[in-house]
Chains A and B, each alone.
Chain A
Amino acid sequence: MKTAQILSKAREEKRTVLTEIEAKQILGEAGINCTPTVLAESKEKAVSICDEIGYPVVLKVSSVDITHKSDAGGVKVNLQNREAVEKAYDDIMTSCRAYAPDANIEGVAVQGMAKIGTEIIMGMIKDASFGPVVMFGLGGVLVEVLKDVSFRIVPIEKADAEEMTSEIQGKKLLAGYRGNDPADVPYLQEMLVKLSDFVNATPGIEEIDMNPVFAYKEGAVVVDARIILSA
């Protein structure tokens, strides 16, 4: 489905929260590499998708009403085979229905397990005065505790993206610390410019989270994404 269609569908349904699948489709269309993520409305569908993409896989609850998927018990990772997927599907449904009895659950999002890389967060927020602003930082614990991130006002140029990645305190971690692979920083900079270009050209988006993004020696991939539309 094209970006415009996804956005107008959400508007028709009077919702401001997009599902992870919708968010990744939109970002993918903007040229940003995301882990392939497919909706399975049933357990059987989930199993057949997993057979197709290969194990291990990740299952996440797909519901616009559940924003904190982990808290709801809606995320199961590293599922190695059919049996694990079937059990995970049931567990997710049980626990999410208990967590949010009124939530409209469309199924589960199935995706392959991305290889672990340097954990990055990228995002966007619309400021009342400055308009859309993009963010870059190291993900995981580092963003939560240290808030080691940098911002720029949209639209950004390549030079701005270069400043963003070199401005964070933990930039050494991008260069490959203690034997870890370095992150493909130029690729991350390109992603930031693509994100900026996308939000600059697409009105009506309030917030975007791409968290985590796994950065590798070559390339990077968005593992989880969230898009919030303007009310």
Chain B
Amino acid sequence: MMDLFFKPKSIAVIGASGKPGKLGYVIVNNIKGSDFAGDVYPVNPKSDEILGYKVYTSLTEIPGDVELVITALPTPKLTVATVEECAQKGVKAIIIESAGFAEMGGDGKIYQQQIVDIAKKNNIRVMGPNCSGIVSRNIVTSIYPMTKKVPNGNVVLIGQSGLLAAGMASDIVENESLNISKVCSIGNKCDVNENDLLEYFGEEEGVDVISMYLETISDGRNLTRIAKKVAAKKPVIFLSGGRTEAGARAAMSHTGSIASNAKIVEAAVKQTGMIMADDFTELKDFAKVFSTQPLPKGNRIAVITLAGSVGVNVSDLCASHGLELPKLTEATTEKLKDMFDTPVSNPVDLYFSVTKIGFTKTLETTFPDAFRDDNIDAAVLILAGFEYTQEAVQKKIIQKIVQDVGKPVVVCMIVGYNKYKNVIMDEMGKEIPVFPSLISGVKALSKLCEYGIRRQKQSA
């Protein structure tokens, strides 16, 4: 059933418009700009042609089958009438982008219930209302214009709020900051909810990482069951709203009085093996790390730096995030003895090596020698945004080492000139995770290690 939303053969847009800037125009224009190869039917009683597509005055007038309907109508009443029309036409999937339903309370709630009733009776799946639908290479129903083609990536983002999901999608696509394949906004979740999508993407080949943010949890019991199954195969990064202690209930038992919503959601996250994000940036950042880096086998970190004081701070952060900084093996120490003025320790201070053989060469040889050490599972690499680091960045040395060594790296950058820093953030940041602070990089890596260890245990 979910395939009808993501791989329809034909789409009708109800409320399509020929006026640039109107919602009904943006949607048609976004579909036009995508790789969608099926039939597109704009519906509008007053136009003949929109963006080169023949316009129909109503859904029933469309000659062929319609697999997916997108509505962006001004009133809930018109939307309900359209859903009724969809039932007559035999449409099985509808995305309702318009607002004014349950989120408004009162009549909005009644209109939404009418939609649910019609959909149930006629076996129609509904996404929304009050959402921005789907952003993917093959279909874009978002309310914001897409400036570039959506990548055919390995990350999907499931969101609730229409505006935010649309904003994040546009941001990610324009800045190429995350290798996404789909962004879905499910709005009021009158029918299609997070569980439907989690199950669908859990099964979908090519989706390696699922990032999800929810303001409300539709069916926590099912979410727990599905997330456990999916997270055993691929990482599910989860941000949940309403995690305050204030959620604690009026209960007759001691247990009930302590069981706040926050504690229960946290329990579900631990139990299922999902990865908890604390804000929207983390939702993206963690997805970046998980989608570009191999899973580590443990939590033993090498900190690679040129500045001792930075190394100390990273060490502290690692400790508070459950990461270890072990000593390197005798063999590595012996191998690297010419590159360090005192025997190599961890944090691995590359300063001596850089003065001896230069930065690029150090990154090419000394770093991977230390990184391959049997005691090490992953690395935090501190990079400065100065001219001397640029050659290594251009030569994509770090990307190659991650590939060769098969262990994950996160890059943290705290000093530099903007013109060089931007190259590292924006260019290198497209391919590997680069963080503008130590704490964000260490936290993201700790999540990767936590998940890697869990997967190790599962396969053991």
| Chain A contacts to B: CB under 8 angstroms | 17, 67, 121, 123-125, 127, 129-131, 133, 135, 137, 143, 147, 149-153, 156, 160, 163, 167, 207-209, 211, 226, 228
What are 23 residue pairs bridging A and B, where the CB atoms are less than 8 Å apart in the complex?
A67-B252, A123-B256, A125-B249, A127-B261, A129-B217, A129-B218, A129-B219, A129-B220, A130-B221, A130-B268, A131-B220, A133-B259, A135-B258, A143-B254, A151-B259, A153-B264, A153-B271, A163-B270, A167-B270, A207-B253, A207-B256, A209-B254, A228-B253
A154 smallest CB distance to B (angstroms): 8
Q: Does B255 contact A (CB under 8 A)?
A: yes
Say yes or no: A226-B263 contact (C-beta < 8 A), given A127-B220, A143-B258, A149-B258. no
A209 and B256 CA atoms in complex are apart in Å by: 9
Contact partners of A127 in chain B: CB under 8 A? 220, 259, 261, 264
Say yes or no: A228-B220 contact (C-beta < 8 A), given A152-B267, A152-B271. no
CB pair B252 A153 closer than 8 Å: no
A49 smallest CB distance to B (angstroms): 28
Q: Does B224 contact A (CB under 8 A)?
A: yes
A151 smallest CB distance to B (angstroms): 4
Contact partners of A156 in chain B: CB under 8 A? 271
A163 and B273 CA atoms in complex are apart in Å by: 12
Range class of the B interface residue count: 20 to 34
Contact partners of A149 in chain B: CB under 8 A? 258, 263
Contact partners of B220 in chain A: CB under 8 A? 127, 129-131, 153
The 0/1 profile, CB within 8 Å of A marked 1, for residues 244-288 of chain B is 000001011111101101011011101100000000000000000
Q: Which residue of A lies closest to B457 (CB)?
A: A159
Q: Which of A123, A131, A133 is in CB contact (< 8 Å) with B254?
A: A123
CB pair A151 B253 closer than 8 Å: no
Number of A-B contacts (CB under 8 A): 81
Contact partners of A208 in chain B: CB under 8 A? 253, 255
Pick the most buried of B219, B224, B266: most chain A CB atoms within 10 A of its CB: B224
A123 and B253 CA atoms in complex are apart in Å by: 8
CB pair A207 B218 closer than 8 Å: no
> How would you classify the secondary structure of chain B's contact residues: helix, strand, loop or mixed?
helix
Contact partners of A151 in chain B: CB under 8 A? 259, 263-264, 266-267
Q: Which residue of B lies closest to A129 (CB)?
A: B220
B278 smallest CB distance to A (angstroms): 19
Say yes or no: A125-B256 contact (C-beta < 8 A), given A130-B220, A153-B220, A153-B224. yes
CB pair B271 A125 closer than 8 Å: no
CB pair A153 B267 closer than 8 Å: yes
A229 smallest CB distance to B (angstroms): 10
CB pair A153 B268 closer than 8 Å: yes
Beyond contacts A121-B254, A130-B221: 16 other A-B pairs, Cβ-Cβ < 8 A, are: A123-B253, A123-B254, A125-B256, A127-B220, A130-B224, A147-B258, A149-B263, A150-B267, A151-B259, A151-B266, A153-B264, A153-B267, A153-B271, A208-B253, A209-B253, A226-B252
| Chain B contacts to A: CB under 8 angstroms | 217-221, 223-224, 249, 251-256, 258-259, 261, 263-264, 266-268, 270-271
B150 smallest CB distance to A (angstroms): 32
Q: Which residue of B lies closest to A211 (CB)?
A: B254
Q: Which residue of B lies closest to A149 (CB)?
A: B258
Say yes or no: A207-B217 contact (C-beta < 8 A), given A135-B258, A150-B267, A152-B267. no
Q: Which 7 A-B pairs have the closest CB atoms?
A: A123-B255, A130-B220, A129-B220, A151-B267, A207-B253, A131-B221, A209-B253
Pick the most buried of B254, B263, B270: most chain A CB atoms within 10 A of its CB: B254
A127 and B224 CA atoms in complex are apart in Å by: 13
B229 smallest CB distance to A (angstroms): 14
A166 smallest CB distance to B (angstroms): 11
Contact partners of A67 in chain B: CB under 8 A? 252
A152 and B228 CA atoms in complex are apart in Å by: 13
A151 and B220 CA atoms in complex are apart in Å by: 14
Q: Which of B249, B252, B258 is in CB contact (< 8 Å) with A228?
A: B252
CB pair A17 B255 closer than 8 Å: no
Q: Which residue of A lies closest to B258 (CB)?
A: A147
A231 smallest CB distance to B (angstroms): 11
Say yes or no: A135-B271 contact (C-beta < 8 A), given A207-B253, A209-B254, A228-B252. no
B129 smallest CB distance to A (angstroms): 21
Q: Which residue of A lies closest to B256 (CB)?
A: A125
Contact partners of A228 in chain B: CB under 8 A? 252-253
A2 smallest CB distance to B (angstroms): 23
CB pair A207 B255 closer than 8 Å: yes
Contact partners of B253 in chain A: CB under 8 A? 123, 125, 207-209, 226, 228
Contact partners of B255 in chain A: CB under 8 A? 121, 123-125, 135, 207-209
A153 and B317 CA atoms in complex are apart in Å by: 31
A94 smallest CB distance to B (angstroms): 26
CB pair A125 B251 closer than 8 Å: yes
Pick the most buried of A130, A160, A207: most chain B CB atoms within 10 A of its CB: A130
A211 smallest CB distance to B (angstroms): 6
Contact partners of B259 in chain A: CB under 8 A? 125, 127, 133, 135, 151
A109 smallest CB distance to B (angstroms): 18
Pick the most buried of B252, B253, B271: most chain A CB atoms within 10 A of its CB: B253
Contact partners of A129 in chain B: CB under 8 A? 217-221
Pick the most buried of A133, A149, A156: most chain B CB atoms within 10 A of its CB: A133
Q: Which residue of A lies closest to B267 (CB)?
A: A151
CB pair A153 B221 closer than 8 Å: yes
A61 and B47 CA atoms in complex are apart in Å by: 79
A27 smallest CB distance to B (angstroms): 14
Contact partners of B221 in chain A: CB under 8 A? 129-131, 153
Say yes or no: A130-B254 contact (C-beta < 8 A), given A135-B259, A160-B271. no
A131 and B251 CA atoms in complex are apart in Å by: 15
A137 and B254 CA atoms in complex are apart in Å by: 11
Q: Which of B251, B252, B264 is in CB contact (< 8 Å) with A130?
A: B264
